[in-house]
Amino acid sequence: MNKIGIVCICIIMIFVLSACSGAANDEDEMLIVVSDPPTEEADTPSTPDDPPADEDDDPPEAPPEATRWGPLAAGFLDLLATRNYYLKYDLTGASIGPDGDVTIKPEDPMTFHCARQDDAYASAASDPFGDYSLIMHVVQKGNKDYYINHTKGVISVNESEKADSSDDKDDTFPVSYMEFIESGVGSVDGVSMPYEDYRRTGWETIFRFYIDGAEVAHFVGILEGEITTVRTNFEVSQDIPSYMFEFPADYPLEDYVPPEKVSR
């Protein structure tokens, strides 16, 4: 009996130990699950891309550049646009009839000389009543105006912050400010010839160039049907006379005095 009891007790112990071992294994598996869960990538909401910029299939074209000048006066104005030229002309009077015909008044014309040399500009006038020597001679360089008085033999210097000789706005024909308007045919002193009309930016005056062949023959400024200025007998070239920009060595420099401040 004792042997049978001992065997029964051993069998019971084996089952108990097996049960405990199985429970322990289950617990270990549970611990593993808790401490090291299977990694799964979280579903992060995707950020939508920025909406594409509105792109026109056909972007608007830039407006075409304004026609600088017409075909008739193009050669004349092209040369002036090189910024290295010499221009000579007579300033005189004229009248315009109701039909637009122009009559030149050639009495006592004054001859003017203009030149541009890169960023320097010069203008002068010849004495029509004497030996046609230069008078009213002005050279603009940088922000200074040099008034060369050939009668007194002095040079008056005026410095101005507003002056800018690199700009052509003060030239006789400021090509950077000229805009072609239209062309036509007119009469000057009974001679029919084509012309081109221009306007200077910000001005109401019509600038009319009369063309004889391939050359500018006459220029008139017209405001409200009246002639304001007349230039004729043009000579233009890229050969700049040295006297236009040379300062006589024996002319002393002096500060410019405005006319209203000159004692009388």
What residue ranges do the domains of the chain occupy?
74-246
pLDDT band at 108 (very low <50, low <70, confident <90, very high): confident
What is the share, in percent, of the chain residues with pLDDT greater than 90?
52
229 half-sphere exposure, CB direction, 13 A CA radius: 14
Provide the 3-class DSSP secondary structure of residue 23: helix
Domain spanning 74-246, CATH architecture = Clam (2.50)
Mean pLDDT over the full length of the chain: 78
pLDDT (mean) for 53-73: 57
pLDDT tops 60 at residue 20: no
**pLDDT tens sequence across 160-209:** 777 678 889 889 999 999 999 999 999 999 999 999 999 998 899 999 99
What is the share, in percent, of the chain residues with pLDDT greater than 70?
71
d(CA 73, CA 52): 50
Q: What is the pLDDT of residue 185?
A: 96
pLDDT tops 70 at residue 30: no
d(CA 13, CA 32): 28
d(CA 187, CA 181): 19
> Residue 230 class from Cβ within 10 Å (0-12 exposed, 13-18 middle, 19+ buried)?
buried
Cα 247 from chain centre: 32
- Residues 23, 24, 27, 28, CA torsion sign: negative
Locate tokens 């000159």: which residue? 262
Q: What is the pLDDT of residue 191?
A: 95
pLDDT tops 50 at residue 128: yes
d(CA 175, CA 203): 14
**Which has the higher per-residue pLDDT, 191 or 133?**
191
Q: Where are the beta strands (DSSP E) in 1-152?
A: 84-96, 102-117, 120-126, 134-141, 144-149
Q: Output the furthest CA–CA distance in the chain (Å, rounded).
A: 167
pTM for the full predicted model: 0.69
